[in-house]
A and B are shown apart, each in its own frame.
Chain A
């Protein structure tokens, strides 16, 4: 235990990035206003009153720097701006803009280092999309930007027409003069450009909101319903060639040797290029490139980590020892004393490596010229890519131009950028010619940067009809160490992600201890939708259910009794209400399970109904209650919860990556299914608004899904699901 005492609550891994940032930039920089990146490119008569709004004589453009991977963030950012600016989001222009420090994320770091998000984000100019942070980060910031622009346009109109500002209104892209005359913003751009933006503005009361709080029409819904949305993979340029790669599945180990003599003779092949991680083929279309790549004989180097999942599990087992303790934020009462008497329940849980596997395979279009390196791709980390490409090519960062494209899913996958660096390596061999590199699905599955495998050893005790003690020892590789290392951020100190989702829950047991044990990295790992809460929430909530069951208590009533947070308690009460909860065993052959996980600040409770049929378990209903403080877009709130529940359930039922010879044995969707339409249950979603802070909903719906299902299966069958995927232990319809 001696080692753990030196760890302070603030000393977590991501926090160390803050300290490095603070030392480098100082307080002065933090207080200095951030430069508006739009000003550099303005032409005469155009105005950019904030980094988020540009007005020219042709129209209004809203800049939405948070990536849209399908979660609807472009729409949300536009509606937040439009609410104060008074424009119609469906008729104005939208662009993700150029990557810039002005678009730093002031919230995402808070998850690991509470209170440091704004400081780190701003000092490092960390433009990143993730951690369900877009709404909490942008809720005030974009409305403020909209209000600044609106008030400045009003002042410009007042000056131009000799009117009193107080007599002016704004409506649908125009300033309305007292006599009813409408002056479009586009006609005021020039005048507004010559005055200082009005900074002292008041945000509208929510009672006046036109868009927020009501169902929003997604700005991309028509293109996405007509095949006209242009994703990164759809980019076409004149004279473009098509490429693909085969890289070593033992990531980082590279190639021992290869023979491309056959591939080089194949139809349409322009060039075979050796790249750091493997071999690339450039051809006249993608299919020809795929064919040729498969015809290359490659001998890979062995990886520097265990080659099989069996060996990796042994590594985790070997690290459940005191000397590998890394983080302990929860230690109430004394579990050791509690376990000295009475019956102690013990269980071991496992969660496998999981691929993100978004449907659009990784791809990028790159054009290398003397002037610049232009990159078109979907990403959550645009500024990191610019840094990495500059470092890899020796080009000045100002010569790296990243154009962020719409994305066919991500789930955290596009927090990594090796695919972009590969595409740059390929395009450097074809200077002056744009090259689109597309991964095959097989390449994508083999290089996913998965969710880490994790092991939990649980011990607990009941006393009377109540849970008395709970101890969890959680073992996995350090996700933050692996991911932050690749982003070039400091990676020293404990990793809160080893225990997040299990040690930050609003429950008060008499004796309660959660400890994280750090195993070596092995397979490079990264953030998978809901990150550590996806596996740790599963361990925590399933074992609570085991104790509840032993105590003979009601699963919801016992959680409510133990709950020490008012907002969370109401979520549990509401889920009992909407599911008409009357216990875990409504009738023979059917079972109901409940789980509660608070992640990204959002408490979520889910009740799942299953039926044991002759062919296996059928999931009938899922009832979800979540509290995000304020539901800004009810229709997308529901869609995000649907998606998170389905992603959580699908993987829990049937998905895992198992490694042999450094390579996942799952090569495509036939062995990595996820959920399909026929398996999809009826899902009922309710949002509450009791929480004080506004939060995002992209991820928090996920963590309770797997444990609620496991607990429902137990209620129906008496079988505990202690290892994902559950289809290793029980059949599903």
Chain B
């Protein structure tokens, strides 16, 4: 089947029910999207489907059709980071960093829909993303910084 991933057409031969997460990681080598729980409890696998944050472990690849998939690799690079990624770098959010692709994708999607979130909005949008290292205070700081970065850009 054909998939639109990070603006490119990719072709894979897998069962329809295979979760997008594993297609990205094992079939396409896009390993920035992480496996943490497989049951939509940790958010490490968060990607954008038509710009909306979704848990890729819950999306059967056969259901995607022509929708566009964006992964952490598709929003920015080490040389040209997305404003949310830049804020994550500036605030030194990551400890082990394993959850941060998902956190960043979740935050980027929230800010697209709600460019000036309240503390409560941030709590609501981000609480499905687990961080076992406890980087939450820095995630809050980085989101506020990203709001500023995006507004001033």
Is B139 engaged at the interface, CB distance under 8 Å to the other chain?
yes
Q: Which of B18, B25, B27, B35: most chain A Cβ within 10 A?
A: B35
Bound CA span A229–B37, Å: 20
Bound CA span A287–B25, Å: 10
Bound CA span A242–B35, Å: 14
Chain B: CB-nearest residue to A440: B38
Q: Check A677 against B97 for contact (C-beta < 8 Å).
A: no
Q: Check A408 against B96 for contact (C-beta < 8 Å).
A: yes
Q: Check A678 against B132 for contact (C-beta < 8 Å).
A: no
Bound CA span A290–B37, Å: 13
Q: Check A227 against B32 for contact (C-beta < 8 Å).
A: yes
In chain B between 61 and 114, which residues have their CB closer than 8 angstroms to a CB of chain A? 71-73, 76-78, 81, 85, 88-89, 92-101, 104
Q: Check A669 against B42 for contact (C-beta < 8 Å).
A: yes
**The one of A70, A226, A645 that contacts B96, using a Cβ cutoff of 8 Å:** A70
Bound CA span A413–B96, Å: 14
Q: Check B137 against A221 for contact (C-beta < 8 Å).
A: no
Q: Check A220 against B97 for contact (C-beta < 8 Å).
A: yes
Q: Which of B31, B94, B95, B123: most chain A Cβ within 10 A?
A: B95
Q: Check B101 against A227 for contact (C-beta < 8 Å).
A: yes
In chain B between 36 and 65, which residues have their CB closer than 8 angstroms to a CB of chain A? 36-39, 41-42, 44
Q: Check A678 against B94 for contact (C-beta < 8 Å).
A: no
Say yes or no: A683-B42 contact (C-beta < 8 A), given A218-B92, A359-B36.
Answer: no
Is B116 engaged at the interface, CB distance under 8 Å to the other chain?
no
Residues of A within 8 A of B32 (CB): 226-228
Residues of A within 8 A of B25 (CB): 234, 286
Distance between B72 CB and nearest chain A CB, rounded to angstroms: 3
Is A722 engaged at the interface, CB distance under 8 Å to the other chain?
no
Q: Check B130 against A358 for contact (C-beta < 8 Å).
A: no
Distance between B73 CB and nearest chain A CB, rounded to angstroms: 6
Is A729 engaged at the interface, CB distance under 8 Å to the other chain?
no
Q: Check A677 against B127 for contact (C-beta < 8 Å).
A: yes
Say yes or no: A409-B89 contact (C-beta < 8 A), given A226-B77, A642-B134.
Answer: no
Distance between A642 CB and nearest chain B CB, rounded to angstroms: 5
Bound CA span A228–B74, Å: 11
Residues of B within 8 A of A392 (CB): none
**The one of A69, A360, A438, A642 that contacts B138, using a Cβ cutoff of 8 Å:** A642
Is A77 engaged at the interface, CB distance under 8 Å to the other chain?
no
Q: Check B136 against A226 for contact (C-beta < 8 Å).
A: no
Q: Check A358 against B76 for contact (C-beta < 8 Å).
A: no
Q: Check B132 against A223 for contact (C-beta < 8 Å).
A: no
Is A520 engaged at the interface, CB distance under 8 Å to the other chain?
no
Is B115 engaged at the interface, CB distance under 8 Å to the other chain?
no
Residues of B within 8 A of A675 (CB): 134, 136
Is A579 engaged at the interface, CB distance under 8 Å to the other chain?
no
Bound CA span A229–B109, Å: 22
Q: Check A224 against B134 for contact (C-beta < 8 Å).
A: no
Is B7 engaged at the interface, CB distance under 8 Å to the other chain?
no
Residues of B within 8 A of A223 (CB): 78, 97
Q: Check A359 against B85 for contact (C-beta < 8 Å).
A: no
Bound CA span A644–B95, Å: 12
Q: Check A70 against B95 for contact (C-beta < 8 Å).
A: yes
Bound CA span A295–B77, Å: 40
Distance between A433 CB and nearest chain B CB, rounded to angstroms: 15
Q: Check A228 against B78 for contact (C-beta < 8 Å).
A: yes
Residues of B within 8 A of A242 (CB): 26
Say yes or no: A234-B31 contact (C-beta < 8 A), given A223-B78, A359-B130.
Answer: yes
Chain B: CB-nearest residue to A671: B41
Say yes or no: A225-B100 contact (C-beta < 8 A), given A361-B35, A677-B126.
Answer: yes
Chain B: CB-nearest residue to A670: B41
Residues of B within 8 A of A231 (CB): 98
Residues of A within 8 A of B72 (CB): 226-227
Distance between A610 CB and nearest chain B CB, rounded to angstroms: 17
Chain B: CB-nearest residue to A649: B134
In chain A between 57 and 89, which residues have their CB closer than 8 angstroms to a CB of chain B? 69-72
Chain B: CB-nearest residue to A643: B134
Bound CA span A630–B153, Å: 39
Interface of B is mostly: loop
**CB 8 Å contact bits of A221-243 with B (1 = contact, 0 = none):** 11111111111011010000010
**The one of B29, B31, B132 that contacts A409, using a Cβ cutoff of 8 Å:** B132
Is A639 engaged at the interface, CB distance under 8 Å to the other chain?
yes
Bound CA span A233–B96, Å: 13
Interface residues on B, range: 35 or more
**The one of A71, A225, A287, A647 that contacts B132, using a Cβ cutoff of 8 Å:** A647
**CB 8 Å contact bits of A419-461 with B (1 = contact, 0 = none):** 0000000000000000000101100000000000000000000
In chain A between 185 and 243, which residues have their CB closer than 8 angstroms to a CB of chain B? 217-218, 220-231, 233-234, 236, 242
Chain B: CB-nearest residue to A283: B26
Chain A: CB-nearest residue to B120: A678
**CB 8 Å contact bits of A272-305 with B (1 = contact, 0 = none):** 0000000000000111101000000000000000
Q: Check B133 against A70 for contact (C-beta < 8 Å).
A: yes
Is B140 engaged at the interface, CB distance under 8 Å to the other chain?
yes
Residues of A within 8 A of B96 (CB): 69-70, 358-360, 407-410
**The one of A221, A234, A286, A644 that contacts B94, using a Cβ cutoff of 8 Å:** A221
Q: Check A670 against B39 for contact (C-beta < 8 Å).
A: yes
In chain A between 627 and 667, which residues have their CB closer than 8 angstroms to a CB of chain B? 635-636, 639-640, 642-647, 650
Q: Check B38 against A441 for contact (C-beta < 8 Å).
A: yes
Bound CA span A70–B133, Å: 8
Distance between B35 CB and nearest chain A CB, rounded to angstroms: 7
Q: Check B126 against A360 for contact (C-beta < 8 Å).
A: no
Bound CA span A408–B33, Å: 13
**The one of A408, A643, A644, A646 that contacts B97, using a Cβ cutoff of 8 Å:** A408
Q: Check B132 against A639 for contact (C-beta < 8 Å).
A: no
Chain B: CB-nearest residue to A682: B137
Q: Check A225 against B93 for contact (C-beta < 8 Å).
A: yes
Residues of B within 8 A of A359 (CB): 34, 36, 42, 44, 96, 98-99, 130-132
Residues of A within 8 A of B122 (CB): 677
Say yes or no: A360-B98 contact (C-beta < 8 A), given A286-B26, A646-B136, A669-B41.
Answer: yes
Say yes or no: A226-B85 contact (C-beta < 8 A), given A646-B134, A680-B137.
Answer: yes
Is A676 engaged at the interface, CB distance under 8 Å to the other chain?
yes
Q: Which of B93, B135, B136, B139: most chain A Cβ within 10 A?
A: B136
**The one of B34, B131, B139 that contacts A360, using a Cβ cutoff of 8 Å:** B34
**The one of A267, A285, A441 that contacts B37, using a Cβ cutoff of 8 Å:** A441
Q: Check A267 against B15 for contact (C-beta < 8 Å).
A: yes
Residues of B within 8 A of A217 (CB): 92
Bound CA span A640–B94, Å: 11
In chain A between 586 and 644, which residues have their CB closer than 8 angstroms to a CB of chain B? 635-636, 639-640, 642-644
Residues of A within 8 A of B14 (CB): 285
Say yes or no: A642-B89 contact (C-beta < 8 A), given A69-B96, A286-B26, A287-B19.
Answer: no
Is A51 engaged at the interface, CB distance under 8 Å to the other chain?
no
Is A524 engaged at the interface, CB distance under 8 Å to the other chain?
no
Is A512 engaged at the interface, CB distance under 8 Å to the other chain?
no
Residues of A within 8 A of B73 (CB): 226-228
Distance between B91 CB and nearest chain A CB, rounded to angstroms: 9
Is A411 engaged at the interface, CB distance under 8 Å to the other chain?
yes
Q: Check A225 against B94 for contact (C-beta < 8 Å).
A: yes
Chain A: CB-nearest residue to B32: A227
Is A131 engaged at the interface, CB distance under 8 Å to the other chain?
no
Q: Check B92 against A639 for contact (C-beta < 8 Å).
A: yes
Residues of B within 8 A of A682 (CB): 137
Closest 6 CB pairs of A and B: A227-B32, A70-B96, A408-B98, A646-B134, A224-B97, A227-B72
Can you spell out 12 A-B residue pairs with CB atoms less than 8 angstroms apart? A70-B97, A222-B81, A359-B99, A361-B36, A409-B95, A410-B96, A440-B38, A646-B134, A669-B42, A675-B136, A677-B126, A680-B137
Chain B positions near chain A (C-beta within 8 angstroms): 14-15, 18-19, 22, 25-27, 29, 31-39, 41-42, 44, 71-73, 76-78, 81, 85, 88-89, 92-101, 104, 122-124, 126-140
**Contacts A70-B97, A287-B26, A408-B97 supplied; 11 other A-B pairs, CB < 8 Å:** A70-B133, A233-B31, A359-B42, A409-B96, A441-B36, A639-B135, A640-B95, A643-B134, A643-B135, A668-B41, A680-B140
